[in-house]
Structure 1
Amino acid sequence: MRRLTGAVLGLLLLAGCSSGSEAVDVNNGGEFRFVAATPSGEVIPPAERASAPEFSGTLLGGGAFSSEELAGDVAVLNFWGSWCGPCRVETPEFQEVYADVRDDGVQFLGLNVKETSEQFALAFVERFGIEFPSLYDPRGEVALAFRDYPATAIPSTIVLDRDHRVAAVYTGEVSQEDLRRVLDRVLGEV
């Protein structure tokens, strides 16, 4: 019975990061757990938004980054891993959106978490032609700073408004159309 339970849990782990309906929580003491996915981003009313935590780290390939660099722009923070099936689908779509909006006051930042080697993350970025920067956060420290949203599920995406407040949160895979809709709405705010 114990082997059967272990096998079922193993299958659930494999299925969780390849499905669009669930995301895998990777920062709860090193164990995985499933959280419900949010299939579309609901924009949080401006009066109800909380400030995003400040964070910093090292970019993939080297160089320092601070969240202060996002000031004044709308920002899309995407928590991903090269090992994550839904990330392989959404990241190239994020690149397409980024290419269209980067000159409109929108910044994208990937946050690579729980990666066993920076080389895997760099190969992922190269394979999909990703031009926006990514932090290398193998221990998930930045994700933990956002644990209230919950960025500890992979993939997760958080949209920040120009005042560095959390405007929308996704757990699970994000469609390009929905991300564009949310960005248009947040960019349209005065």
Structure 2
Amino acid sequence: MRRLVPAVLAALVLAGCTSGSDAVDVNDGGEFRFVEATPSGEVIPPGERATAPEFAGTLLGGASFSSAELAGDVAVLNFWGSWCAPCRVETPEFQEVHADLEDDGVQFLGLNVKETDEQFALAFVERFGITFPSLYDPRGEVALAFRDYPANAIPSTIVLDRESRVAAVYTGEVSQEDLRRVLDRVLEEA
């Protein structure tokens, strides 16, 4: 009987994870999907990279931003929400990597999506001491621009090379160690 209970529980959990739609209605009606996390440490070979879409918007706090500001640097784009539990784990780790690499030609940009009130995002940034900028994108428009990668899974992280090409894509939480390995590889490229 003791062996049967874990097996039945595992079957129920698996059935719950695979049945029905994988779309989740988040806050104001936008659809974001929770998908299986990507393998760690995979960098797209330079010859196979696509140019990232251009985008612009308003940063938390009101300043304007354009993706052209990322040109020439390696960039880490992190799609997050204050409502996202894995974001609470990875965002402080991203801050540590940002602090270590900001003078080495690596820019971080958060993309806050699906917040009903900018104050939630600002409180999140303050709570975790985040110093890199974040776009306030309540309608998920930038995520839609990256829909081929898929940035509609939260959290998602996209690493751009110095030529603004997509060098790595993560869905799900990214460990600090893995992010550092990928950034080191992209920074080493000529």
- Residue 53 of structure 1: aligned partner: 53
| Cα distance in structure 1, aligned partners of 2:166 and 2:25 | 20
Change (3 A) 1:142 1:40: same
Read off the aligned partner of 1:44 and give its amino acid letter: I
Q: Could you tell me the TM-score, scaled by structure 1's length?
A: 0.85
4+ long deviations beyond 3 Å: 22-26
| Cα distance in structure 1, aligned partners of 2:31 and 2:57 | 23
Residues 94-129 of structure 1 deviation map (CA, whole Å, 9 limit, x = unaligned): 000000000000000000000111000000000000
- Where 2:34 maps in the other structure, the secondary structure is strand
| Cα distance in structure 2, aligned partners of 1:180 and 1:32 | 27
- Residue 87 of structure 1: aligned partner: 87
- Tell whether the 8 Å contact from 2:143 to 2:152 is kept in structure 1 after alignment: yes
Residues 135-188 of structure 1 deviation map (CA, whole Å, 9 limit, x = unaligned): 000000000000000001100000000000000000000000000000000000
| Cα distance in structure 2, aligned partners of 1:23 and 1:167 | 26
Residues 8-42 of structure 1 deviation map (CA, whole Å, 9 limit, x = unaligned): 9xx96xxxxxxxxx99686xx73453311114131
Read off the aligned partner of 1:120 and give its amino acid letter: F
- Residue 182 of structure 1: aligned partner: 182
Read off the aligned partner of 2:49 and give its amino acid letter: R
| Cα distance in structure 1, aligned partners of 2:153 and 2:165 | 20
- Tell whether the 8 Å contact from 1:24 to 1:154 is kept in structure 2 after alignment: no
| Cα distance in structure 1, aligned partners of 2:97 and 2:135 | 19
Q: Could you tell me the TM-score, scaled by structure 2's length?
A: 0.85
Give the gaps of 5 or more residues in structure 2.
1-12
Change (3 A) 1:92 1:24: farther
| Cα distance in structure 1, aligned partners of 2:23 and 2:78 | 13
Give the gaps of 5 or more residues in structure 1.
1-7, 13-21
- Residue 158 of structure 1: aligned partner: 158
- Residue 124 of structure 1: aligned partner: 124
- Where 2:169 maps in the other structure, the secondary structure is strand
Larger radius of gyration: 2
- Tell whether the 8 Å contact from 2:150 to 2:171 is kept in structure 1 after alignment: yes
- Tell whether the 8 Å contact from 2:33 to 2:154 is kept in structure 1 after alignment: no
Aligned-CA RMSD value: 2.2
Residues 70-98 of structure 1 deviation map (CA, whole Å, 9 limit, x = unaligned): 00000000000000000000000000000
Aligned residues: 171
